[in-house]
Structure 1
Amino acid sequence: MDNWFSSFQFAIDLKYDLKLTMLGTLRKNKREIPTELVNVANRPEKSCQFACHKDCTLLSYVPKKRKNVLVLSTTHVDDKIDPESEKLMMIVDYNNTKYGVTL
């Protein structure tokens, strides 16, 4: 799911009301995101921080200096790494399933 549509409340609604899981990026200006995950000025490249709440996992990943990617998932609950690419499974699954049309 694209960051335009994803939010914590939407992920919870999908999971409990419709029995659907969600994996998508999240915009940094959402008020429910802890400030520790948004501020990446002093974090090294390829560092990760996780936050979990109500069957949701939020990942803050710094692929490059001063770049922050926030990924929200109701499927992933750990920091498993893909042995082939040596990336987090959350990132690998997001990259493998992102396709479609943005209007």
Structure 2
Amino acid sequence: MDNWFTSVPLAEKLLKQHKITVIGTIRKDKKELPADFVNLKFQDRKVNSSLSLFSENVTAASYKATEKKLATLISTLHDDEAIHPGSGKPEIIMNYNETKGGVDVLDRLCQDTNTGRKTKRWPMAFF
């Protein structure tokens, strides 16, 4: 999922009611995430460091890729803080990167579609 759609209540509902697991980026201003989890400067986090949060069904991962870039994801598929041996990134991020093709297609379609028009007079817009 893309960060426009991802939320902890939605992920829990999809898992409980429909048995659908979710991996998605989540906005940093969501109330479900603590401030120190999404803040780039908290405790001088080092580059390539990660933090994880766990609840009953949802796992969240925060990975500081560069000084100014922080990736925050949630997953109902993962239940541990496994790190990929080759890249040093959390497994949640590696799985998201492998399966985000649908997210990229949706973003591309939304970007290419323009619903605006140059005039407010509908006959001019129609003809």
Is TM-score (shorter-chain normalized) higher than 0.5? yes
CA separation in 2, counterparts of 1:58 and 1:87? Answer: 13
Name the counterpart of 2:22: 22
Work out the CA distance in 2 between the residues paired with 1:51 and 1:79: 9
Could you report, residue by residue, the CA deviation over 1:34-92 in whole angstroms, capped at 9, with x for unpaired residues?
11101121211011111111210011110001321111000111122233444321111
Q: Does 1:62 align with 2:64?
A: yes
1:25-44 residue pairs with structure 2 within 5 A?
25-41=25-41, 42-44=44-46
Structure 1 residues 66 and 79, CA, compared in 2 at 3 Å: closer, same or farther?
Answer: same
| Structure 1 or 2: more helix by fraction | 2
Task: Work out the number of aligned pairs and report it.
Answer: 103
RMSD: 1.2
Greater relative contact order structure (CA < 8 Å, 6+ sep)? 1
The one-letter amino acid paired with 1:93 is N
- Gap runs ≥5 in structure 2: 111-127
Task: Measure the CA separation in 2 of the matches of 1:58 and 1:2.
Answer: 15
Report the equivalent of 1:90. Answer: 92
Aligned identity (percent) is 39
Q: Give 5+ residue unaligned stretches, structure 1.
A: none
Compute the TM-score of the two structures, normalised by the length of structure 1.
0.92
Opposite residue 84 of structure 2, the aligned amino acid is D
